[in-house]
A and B are shown apart, each in its own frame.
Chain A
Amino acid sequence: QKEVEQDPGPLSVPEGAIVSLNCTYSNSAFQYFMWYRQYSRKGPELLMYTYSSGNKEDGRFTAQVDKSSKYISLFIRDSQPSDSATYLCAMSAGGGSNYKLTFGKGTLLTVNP
């Protein structure tokens, strides 16, 4: 079993839809959870950062972490064509050399006008 599993999609939705993106993981040491957005031929851009379990909201984006189920989610409300990108989940155990991240393979999202 891979440490981080992410459905690669592709996912295509109409503008204004609610988008749900998910990752599962197997390493119970992970405590820091991130979502990155990557546009084509660009570097990953940090979108959301969460420590341990719970929810975090930032504008149209909500990140959820359920450590008991080893499951994390990113919700995008009122999706826009500019949200079309690849979304990467990432996680780490934190502290010292454990800053290094383990990534999911990414989900390609297209929001159609």
Chain B
Amino acid sequence: DAGITQSPRHKVTETGTPVTLRCHQTENHRYMYWYRQDPGHGLRLIHYSYGVKDTDKGEVSDGYSVSRSKTEDFLLTLESATSSQTSVYFCAITRGGNTIYFGEGSWLTVV
């Protein structure tokens, strides 16, 4: 157990609606990440955070924003969901020694 909780685990939403995914960690780690996983593309980094209020873009950040107001929570927001954002979203944290651990995933379907 990596001490990461993602919510919601499953969501169906309509095109154009805002969606927020939450990642909660219990271990006070500095680095947190959001990845998406799609067939044919593998895991791709959306955004990451290296501390409270410190975030940066990954390789597929268009259409996504993030916030981190507390060490334990990292939020991913789709401002206006599109069908291309239908995916599985994984939150991850870095523990000591460059080792990165993943949560169980949030399955998002945009219809």
Contact = CB atoms under 8 A, between A and B. Distances in A.
Interface of A: 32, 34, 36, 41-46, 49, 51, 88, 90, 92, 94-97, 99-101, 103-106
A88 B100 CA distance: 13
Contact of B43 (A41, A42, A45, A88): A88
B98 A32 contact: yes
A80 B102 CA distance: 24
B82 to A, nearest CB: 23
Nearest to B54: A97
A43 B90 contact: yes
A105 B90 contact: no
Tell me what chain B mostly uses at the interface: helix, strand, loop, or mixed: strand
Nearest to A93: B98
Contacts of A46: 99-101
Given A43-B103, A97-B50, A105-B42, 14 more contacts: A42-B104, A43-B104, A43-B105, A44-B102, A49-B99, A92-B98, A94-B98, A95-B98, A99-B48, A99-B98, A100-B45, A100-B48, A101-B100, A106-B42
A1 to B, nearest CB: 16
B33 interface: yes
B42 A99 contact: no
A88 B92 CA distance: 15
B8 interface: no
